[in-house]
Amino acid sequence: AKELGRNQYRFFTESLHDQLQAYIRFSREMPKALETNSFILEYQPQVSLKTGAIIGVEALVRWDHPELGIVSPQRFISVAEETGFIVPLGRWVLKTACKTLKHLALHQMSHIKVAINLSSRQFRDPNLLTMIRQMLQEYDVDPACLELEITESLLMHDIGLAIETLKELQALGITIAIDDFGIGYSSFNYLKTLPINVLKVDREFIKDIPDHLDDMEITAAMISMAHRLGMTVVAEGIETQVQQVFLEEHHCDIGQGYLFSRPIELSKLMVLLTKQDAK
């Protein structure tokens, strides 16, 4: 027990030290990384649970660091949010996603949607709408192909302003998804007042299916209530066929997870989509 205690203590202090080091290092290096084109956008397929076809992708950012290798967004997004760097980074993500949408349309794949993650800081940026409008125009993107994933915490800051912004985005033809649903303060009573098209059930509820009956019941209830509110449901983090079958039986619309594909680079996505078109 003594040994464990000491190790835990060491782990704790090292982790704090690492966090601080990473914060200082990343906040200094990130702006340069954008200039040297060191961020990468990967795409994770979203599959129709009715037809099995890939109907969209979620774009996920990575950092190809000269010394550290590929750095996960779990390590640098929170730093980018705190320093404000998320605004230029988010702009790069949107721009890259728009280029990809243009590329898809040029290859007769204009039915594929691209979803990007929007952080709270970006959402509160007064230039957001203008920037999105300009970007859609510059790359000649059909707004119906762009989906924005937001979280509940983003809505908390100023619910009135959030609803206004969401409505304006929807008026442009953009789809709004609520990400990581179920783990925060979410309530359906509150959700019904919001202009949201898609609900993404968090992996937390999916990962223990079929071992945890309560997760299965909650998931089934979330799907049926979301449908009642007219929303499309995406289940995140599907890793097994048992989970897929459970979700299909409960009429979940779309699945995303390692069972179908990990996040992949654009060229690999094009191969998958071309194969599927050939069938």
100 binds ligand C2E (CB under 6 A): no
Cβ closer to Ca ion: 29 or 119?
119
Single-letter residue type at 24: I
Segment holding 180, helix H or strand E: strand 175-181
- Which member of 179, 181, 209, 231 binds ligand C2E (CB under 6 A)? 179
Provide the minimum distance between the beta carbon of 212 and ligand C2E in the complex, in angstroms, as a whole number.
16
From residue 143, how far is each of 7, 48, 54 by CA, in Å? 52, 20, 19
Cβ closer to ligand C2E: 57 or 231?
57
Token pair of 2, please? 């003594």
Shortest Cβ contact with ligand C2E: which residue?
257
Single-letter residue type at 228: R
DSSP reduced 3-state for 236? coil
From residue 48, how far is each of 31, 145, 171, 228, 233 by CA, in Å? 38, 16, 25, 19, 10
- Identify which range of 31-39, 137-145, 151-159, 172-180 contacts Ca ion by CB under 5 A: 172-180
179 binds Ca ion (CB under 5 A): yes
152 binds Ca ion (CB under 5 A): no
- Which member of 46, 96, 100, 117 binds ligand C2E (CB under 6 A)? 117
60 binds ligand C2E (CB under 6 A): yes
Positions in 63-122 near Ca ion (CB under 5 A) = 117
| x-marked contacts with ligand C2E along 203-242 as a string, rule CB under 6 A | x---------------------------------xxx---
Q: Are 158 and 191 in contact (CB under 8 A)?
A: no
Tell me which of Ca ion, ligand C2E, none is bound by residue 263, counting a contact when its beta carbon lies within the kind-specific cut-off of 5 to 8 angstroms: ligand C2E
- Identify which range of 11-19, 115-123, 222-230, 241-249 contacts ligand C2E by CB under 6 A: 115-123
Alpha-carbon span 229 to 181, nearest angstrom: 15
Q: Are 122 and 90 in contact (CB under 8 A)?
A: yes
Residue 37 Rama label (left phi>0; alpha psi -120 to 50; beta): left
Single-letter residue type at 101: L
Alpha-carbon span 196 to 176, nearest angstrom: 5
Residues in touch with ligand C2E (CB under 6 A): 44, 60-61, 72-74, 77, 90, 93, 116-117, 119, 179-180, 203, 237-239, 256-258, 263
Residues within the interface to Ca ion (CB under 5 A) = 117, 149, 179-180, 236
